[in-house]
Amino acid sequence: MEAKRIASLFLLLLIGVQMRGSNALSMNYYGMSCPFVEMIVRTIVNQALQKDPTLAAGLLRLHFHDCFVQGCDASILLDATDGTSEKDSPANGSVRGYEVIDQIKQWLEARCPGTVSCADVVALAARDAVFWAGGPYYGIMTGRRDGTRSRIEDTRALPPPTLNTTDLMKVFVDQRGFTVAQLVALSGGHTIGSARCQSLKNRLDNSDPTAEPNFLQALSRTCSAGDSTTVPFDRTSTTFDNQYFRALQNSQGVLTSDQTLYNSPQTRMIVDAYAMNQAMFFYNFQQGMLKMGQLDLKEGNQGEIRLNCRKVN
């Protein structure tokens, strides 16, 4: 009798694990249904970045801009059908990498049709892009579902580049549960990529006193070419390192939302720590990315597995 009772309990536990695995994220969600998913994503991302290293920042930004609007549901990938979608928002004007996601999805559909969500592809591609650029590698739980709504007005949830530290803490800490250390680390994602001059016009127009004068003059000269001109966030804009924080220490943050992190007593010590200790930055960035990847998830019957990432089924 005791052996039967133990066997029954084990069976119930096993069923419970299987049920959780079907409706929640797990580290090996596609282990049976599409075991080569991560290898396929990594291969295509690496090929794309070898041709254009600047795409690493685009793929990272794609994941961030997806998760902060309606959660991590690949809504940013949907093309407009009536009106405008998220990708048409000026806030997403600098997002790149859509064609890389398309290529990955095509490969996956040929091998594991109707199995891997576009939302998971975006999360995995961002991780692999960061690693390719020299950043940390971290395991990603998968099992997200794809959303069916994408509206330009929803991008109001994205934090604008003019926010100060207090406002950034409201968005990241109060509203979404990040720690302050994770907020600063996620901002450090700007260690790769560049900003459009449109995003820093407020600093140039007002001759921002928090910017180092020679740096501000250099920005003004570059941006005289037009709002769509881009400015690298730091001097190693295709390498994921801690140079971004050293730039902040020198009052050379490109955006208001960058430099405010060093000017504010709430975050200055964290910037100093990351500038001195890259491993600490990498650890907290990793933790922040893992938390971001679970924002407002659609699981089970709440979403779908798109066959084409650009349109709902």
> 66: annotated binding-site residue?
yes
Main-chain phi, psi angles of 241, to 5 degrees: -145, -165
From the list 185, 166, 184, the residue with the least C-alpha distance to 174 is 166
For tokens 């549901």, the residue is 73
User: Computed over its alpha carbons, how large is the radius of gyration of the chain?
Assistant: 21
- CA distances in angstroms from 147 to 15, 121, 150, listed in the order given: 28, 14, 8
Q: Which helix (H) or strand (E) is 186 found in, with range?
A: helix 180-187
From the list 157, 154, 160, the residue with the least C-alpha distance to 199 is 160
> 88: annotated binding-site residue?
no
> 75: annotated binding-site residue?
yes
> 231: annotated binding-site residue?
no
> 166: annotated binding-site residue?
no
Query: Would you please indicate which residues are annotated as catalytic (active-site) residues?
Result: 65
For tokens 């998220």, the residue is 86
CA 249 to chain centre: 24
- CA distances in angstroms from 296 to 48, 176, 218, 240, 260, listed in the order given: 29, 10, 41, 27, 28
From the list 118, 64, 74, 132, the residue with the least C-alpha distance to 94 is 64
DSSP type of residue 151: -
> 159: annotated binding-site residue?
yes
> 251: annotated binding-site residue?
no
From the list 8, 291, 269, the residue with the least C-alpha distance to 141 is 291
Pick out the residues of the known binding site for heme b: 190
Pick out the residues of the known binding site: 66, 69, 71, 73, 75, 86, 159, 190-191, 234, 241
Pick out the residues of the known binding site for substrate: 159
